[in-house]
Structures are given as structure tokens and as C-alpha cells.
Structure 1
Amino acid sequence: MSDVEKLLKQAAMQIGAGGSAGFVEVCIMHPLDLVKTRLQIQSNKSAMKPSDPHYYSGIIDCMKKMYRYEGFTSFWKGILPPILAETPKRAVKFATFEQYKKLFMFGSDTPTPLTFSLAGLGAGITEAVLVNPFEVVKVTLQSNKSLATEIPSTWSVTRQIVREHGLGSRGLNKGLTATIARNGVFNMVYFGFYHSVKGYVPEYQDPLSEFLRKVAIGFTSGVLGSCANIPFDVAKSRIQGPQPVPGVVKYSSTSGAIIMVYREEGFRALYKGLLPKVLRLGPGGAIMLVVYDYVYHFLENKFQPKSI
């Protein structure tokens, strides 16, 4: 097999494993992503009262009110954009991560923690550019508090955004800088920690113990990445979500949104939605990395050249 064929085969396995990992993760964890977005776009200075069906005091309260006033299927509002995006998004993330690793070796024979972190940062930035239009549509759908059966379709929301605001920074690419910062920081911590620690924690021969080892490291990676990038996530939700006063753009830039939230609502407001985010990306991070590892090795063994 030529070098080109080996490279293409490896890329195909990375794309297949990455796409599978993303699809499984988003289907399982989407309800928590929706709750996180609802909490993040709700201002502390909101005129809503606790008795208001659209005022949420926490995760459980949000889930109860969504179930009561919007129906069970409301927990999967806005899931089509991430499903459409997840396969290419995760495929790009894992495939580019492997390529960025080669770029950041800095003369070392083996990857270092710095290599993993910088490769993760590069993969996150690349992923963000690809996924941001889907994020804009997803947040628009997630912030709609009508019954799940009454909300407009993904396609009609997309057409409306393009028709009214175009493809630029007011339209489908609204909040791009915040998405780049969010995904870049998350993946820098996520990949940097996971691959660095995985190399130090000895592997187990027992399949169950080895599975739990990977889950534990993946879970910790997801939690640390979530804690590191949450202020950028809050800024992204405020920029891409509905503005407090219709027709008036209050949140437009990443740094401006972060400063405004801090000044008006305090430091804790920059960590809104952290618990559902951790509950999603902790297990979600573990699911992604474990599914990726197992699917990649399955494909590698399946397409291994047979010896004669």
C-alpha cells in the first residue's frame, strides 16, 4: 500500500470514528444542551417573575416547566442542526487534531502535553468555523418557548435568518468569534488533558476496567474543558439568542458581551448553565472519546491487510 493510500485510509477511519462519536453524543445529551442555553439567555435582570412559566430557577425547574408547558418532545428542540453538523463537525475535529499534532511536535519524537493542547486548540478553531451557522439556527430554535409542535422548522428558521440578516456577522455567522473562543479553549483543555493523562495511567487487560479507565479520563476532560470555556459559551448564547429588547442589538461582540454580563449581573452570571453543561459534556466527553477509540480500532482491524 502506498503512502497516499495509507493516508487516505487513515483519514477515512478518523472521519468515520469521529462522525459516529458525534452522532451518538448529541442524540443522548441534547436535552441538557437545551437547558443550558435556556439558563444562559435568561438575564438576572429579567422582568419575569418566578411564577412565570418561562422563568427558570435551575435545571429541575427548567425541565419541569418545559415538560408542562411545551411537551416532552420540547427537550429535543433544535436537534436537527447539531445532528446535521455533528458528523462533519466531529469528523473534522478528530481528523484535524491528528494533523495538527504533526505540526506541533517541535522536533520531539513523541507528542508532548503542549502538542496535544495546541493540536486541540487548532482542531477547535477549525471545528468552530464549520459549525457556527448550525449553532445560530440551533440557539434560535432552542430559545423558542412555544409548544414543540408549533415551532417553525429548521429550514424555515434558516431561510428567515438569511432573508433578514444575510450570511454575515448579523446573520448565519453571528457570534463566530465567541464560537471560536468557546470551541478552541474547550478542545485545548479536552484533548490536552485526555491524551496526556491517558499516557500516564496504565492500561488494563480486563476490557471492563479499560473501558472505565477511558470513561473516567474522558469525563474529567469534559468537565475541565467546560469549566474553562463557560464565559465564552455565555457570550455566544447572548449574541446568538434573542436580544432583551427586540430590534436593539445589546450583545454583539464576545468581549463586549462578557464585560456587559459581568457589570450588570456579576461574576457568577458568566458561569450560567455550568451545571447542565458539565452534566452534558462530562459524560458527553467520555462518550465521544470512548466511541471514537472503539470505532477507530474496529475499522482499523476490519480493514487491516490480511496476511497470506
Structure 2
Amino acid sequence: MSPIASPSKGVRKESGVARLLGSGSAGIAELAVFHPVDTIAKRLMSNTGKINGVGQLNAVIFKEHAGATLPRKFFSLFPGLGYAAGYKVLQRIYKYGGQPFVRDYLGQHHNEKFEAAFGKGSGKAIMHATAGSLIGIGEIVLLPLDVLKIKRQTNPEAFRGRGLFKIVADEGFGLYRGWQWTAARNAPGSFALFGGSAFAKEALGLSDYNAATWTQNFIASIAGASASLIVSAPLDVIKTRIQNKNFENPESGFRIISNMMKNEGITSFFKGLTPKLLMTGPKLVFSFWLAQTLIPIFDKKLM
């Protein structure tokens, strides 16, 4: 199947199969490499106290395994792997594979409006960012898997011996608790991710983003991932704290904000940002770069 030219100038339309294979492969590879890193970041964001010294940091990251051997500590960073596999692979397929479909729709119906408002190059980049933002909001459909993954990583006591189906039956739509904050976090975060990448490719002189080399995709992914993490950091902290509470003791986002301001100060909204940039940043760069690189490759193979 040959690629079809998109109505948006300079944007080539890949096949649906290529998008599925490229984004799915990126999700699987990201999970295999970075799940321990994600656990560390989530535990740091969930910590409500100040960390003084290596001993306390060790306790926050490894919890009851803080005094265990190094291999035991390492394997303690893999809780919720089953939920993470379901969530991460579906999320990457939905996000990286779905954004091009929304982008194609905007290009077909609203390309002239974007170009008139922002100029040719910038208009295309903003269109990519807008498509990313819209697909990011819709990501809340996968929220229950994310909730279960985070609880396994940060608050395993919340399960109290219950399995997946028992939890779903007991909690129902309670698993969507905090969906508003997730949507509020995803909208600007995904806008910055796809927009930052698109603007970087414009700066690199690319008119066809699919023609980017591995190196160009890597540079663009760094720009997009860094922008996304910084923009979404405060809402990500709130979202994580909503999701890591016990099922029977939920706490609203506004209550969490109030307590954070009162007890921890304004800087608490950026807790975990440094390790996220150093650890989660490369994870996002890796998966985004891999998806952007693999989708055109799969598309050519399927031609």
C-alpha cells in the first residue's frame, strides 16, 4: 500500500498498520527498559515529606526493601509490571499511533486556518501540537490501568490481597477518580510533546517530518519530551497523589493542592521534576524517538 499525500502540505500520511506497529514496538521497548525508572519517579512524587540524606532517599525509593541486597532492591522496582504492560503498550499505540489520525483530520479540514493564523511552518507545527493535545485528553479512557499501576508502585497495601477482577468489581468508576486532573495534565503535556518535536523539525529545516533521520528524530524528541515534562509537572504531581491513595480513603485534587501549599510550599508542585528530566525524560525521548523513526520505516516496508 503506497502512502497517501495528506491535504496538509509537507505532511505525509502513513498507513494505519505502520502506525500500529511502530507505536506498539515503541511501547514494548520502553516498558522493557524503563519500568524501574518510572517506579522511582512515582515514589519520589508520592513522598510528602522532605528527604534528608541518602538513608531517607533509600527508604523512599525501595520502601521495605531499603535494607535488602542490591539484586533484591532492583527487583523491588518492578511492582505492577502486568498493569504497566497493558497500560504502557496501549497508551503508546493510542498516543503515538492515534495522533497522526487527528493530525490528518485537522490537515484535511483546517489546514488553511492554521497557516493563516500562524504561518506555513509554524501553522503545521501548531497543528501537530493541537492534534497531540486532543489525543492526550482522550487518553483518560486508559486511566484505570494507570491507577492500578501507580498504586502497585507506590501503595501496594491498597490492594489488600485483591486481584484485578475483584478490584474492578469493587471500585467500578472509582478507578476513574482524578480523570479531570489527568485530562488537565495531558492536554498541555501532549501539546508540548508533539509541538516541541514539530518546532524542532521545522528549525532543522524539515518540510516532510517523516523524512527525518534517526539523529533529527532524536533531537526533536528531546525538545518535545523536555517541554512536555516541564509543562505538565505540577498537574502530574497532583494526579499521582490522587491515584496513590487507598481506595477507601480518596482525596480530592483541590484538597491535595491546599495541603501541598500549606505543608510543603509552592516548590512541591515540581517534586520529582529533576529525576523525571534525568530518568523519565530519557524514557519519553526513547519511546517517542523510536515511534517517530519506526512508523516511516514500517510504512516503507509495507508499500
What TM-score comes out, normalization by structure 1 length? 0.77
**Is 2:132 the counterpart of 1:159?**
no
Could you tell me which runs of 5 or more consecutive residues in structure 2 were left unpaired when the two chains were aligned.
7-12, 207-211
Say which SS state the counterpart of residue 131 (structure 2) adopts. helix
**How far did 1:17 drift?**
0.8
Residue 51 to residue 152, structure 1, CA distance change in 2 (3 Å): farther
Counterpart CA distance in 1 for 2:16 and 2:76 is 37
**Which residue of 1 is the match for residue 148 of structure 2?**
137
CA RMSD of aligned residues (A): 3.5
Say which SS state the counterpart of residue 112 (structure 1) adopts. helix
**Which residue of 2 is the match for residue 206 of structure 1?**
none
**How far did 1:160 drift?**
4.4
**Is 2:196 the counterpart of 1:190?**
no
Aligned AA for 1:141?
Answer: R
**Is 2:29 the counterpart of 1:56?**
no
User: Is the contact between residue 226 and residue 274 of structure 1 (CA under 8 Å) also seen in structure 2?
Assistant: yes
Counterpart CA distance in 1 for 2:160 and 2:217 is 40
**Which residue of 1 is the match for residue 106 of structure 2?**
104
More helix by share: 2
What TM-score comes out, normalization by structure 2 length? 0.78
**How far did 1:163 drift?**
4.2
**How far did 1:145 drift?**
6.6
Say which SS state the counterpart of residue 68 (structure 1) adopts. coil
User: Is the contact between residue 94 and residue 123 of structure 1 (CA under 8 Å) also seen in structure 2?
Assistant: no
Residue 139 to residue 296, structure 1, CA distance change in 2 (3 Å): same
**Which residue of 2 is the match for residue 85 of structure 1?**
87
Offset from partner CA, 1:16-42 (integer Å, 9 cap, x none): 111111111122122121111111221
Residue 57 to residue 74, structure 1, CA distance change in 2 (3 Å): closer
User: Is the contact between residue 35 and residue 81 of structure 2 (CA under 8 Å) also seen in structure 1?
Assistant: yes
**How far did 1:67 drift?**
5.6
Counterpart CA distance in 2 for 1:265 and 1:194 is 34
**Which residue of 1 is the match for residue 77 of structure 2?**
75
Determine what percentage of the aligned residue pairs are the same residue.
Answer: 22
Residue 27 to residue 71, structure 1, CA distance change in 2 (3 Å): same
Alignment coverage as a number of residue pairs = 278
User: Is the contact between residue 89 and residue 130 of structure 1 (CA under 8 Å) also seen in structure 2?
Assistant: no
**Is 2:22 the counterpart of 1:17?**
yes
Offset from partner CA, 1:168-209 (integer Å, 9 cap, x none): 1xx321222222222222111000010121122146xxxxx9
Offset from partner CA, 1:201-246 (integer Å, 9 cap, x none): 146xxxxx94333222212321221111111111111111135xx9
Residue 51 to residue 278, structure 1, CA distance change in 2 (3 Å): closer
Residue 217 to residue 77, structure 1, CA distance change in 2 (3 Å): same
Residue 295 to residue 3, structure 1, CA distance change in 2 (3 Å): closer
**How far did 1:290 drift?**
2.3
**How far did 1:52 drift?**
11
Aligned AA for 2:195?
Answer: G
Counterpart CA distance in 1 for 2:64 and 2:277 is 21
1:229-248 alignment runs, 5 A limit:
229-242=232-245, 248=249
**How far did 1:113 drift?**
2.6
The correspondence for 2:126, drawn from 114, 120, 123, is 114
Say which SS state the counterpart of residue 76 (structure 1) adopts. coil
Counterpart CA distance in 1 for 2:220 and 2:67 is 37
Large movers: runs of 4+ above 4 Å: 1-4, 49-53, 63-67
Aligned AA for 1:159?
Answer: F
**Which residue of 2 is the match for residue 43 of structure 1?**
48
User: Is the contact between residue 14 and residue 295 of structure 2 (CA under 8 Å) also seen in structure 1?
Assistant: no
**Is 2:125 the counterpart of 1:125?**
no
**Which residue of 2 is the match for residue 269 of structure 1?**
268
Counterpart CA distance in 2 for 1:52 and 1:175 is 32
Could you tell me which runs of 5 or more consecutive residues in structure 1 were left unpaired when the two chains were aligned.
204-208
Counterpart CA distance in 2 for 1:137 and 1:247 is 14
